[in-house]
Amino acid sequence: PVEGGDDLGIGLVLRVLVRQVLAVHEQELGPQQPDALRLKARVVGMQGDVAAAQARLKALGNTAKAILDANGKLVEIVIQDGSEVTAEDLELFGRLKDLKKLQIFNCRDLNDAMVSNLVGLGKLETLALTNTVITDEAVQTITKAFPDLIELDLSSNTNMTSSAMRIIATLT
């Protein structure tokens, strides 16, 4: 088992339980209040994702850190040694809608499919994915998903071609 793996499942378990409670409430209340219940379920799910992300970063050790804002929203993740970062981690990070900064350095397993898990991060201003195996396809995904990026670091990614620069140049 992966260290911290039990903690990582907390967010998933919370979401499953919330969905079950939501289904019961919808059956009891009928269609009159499903929007309020869905909103509450989404808030609980996001809180579970923040807790799960914090637990996972703690399991990654001293080279990983998370920064929360005054409201307890996870706004920054920095992972200096990404050698233990998994596809499941990127899925989890991709659900952190308040994230403004994501930096994952030295992650040789990070690929194009994993990058696609991040496209929902609408508030992202800073992105660093270094020493990965991403290609021009991931660069295309990044520029389409995050046209307002302020900082982008894709250094030491040897599978990208010179076309990646033309793609990056489309960022405003």
pLDDT, position 2: 41
pLDDT, position 1: 39
The three-state secondary structure class of 153 is strand
Residue environment code for 31-59, b if the CB has 16+ CB neighbours within 10 A, otherwise e: eeeeeebeeebeebbbebbbebbbbbbeb
pLDDT, position 170: 86
Burial class (CB in 10 A: 0-12, 13-18, 19+), 92: buried
The three-state secondary structure class of 118 is coil
pLDDT, position 147: 86
pLDDT tens string, the chain, 172 residues long: the values are 344 444 444 444 444 544 555 555 455 555 555 544 343 334 434 568 999 999 999 999 999 999 999 998 999 999 999 999 999 999 999 999 999 999 999 999 999 999 999 999 999 999 999 999 999 999 999 999 998 899 999 999 999 999 998 999 988 6
Measured from the Cβ of residue 62, the count of other Cβ atoms closer than 10 Å reads 8
Provide the whole-model pTM. 0.73
* Nearest-10 crossing angle of helices 5-29, 34-60: 180
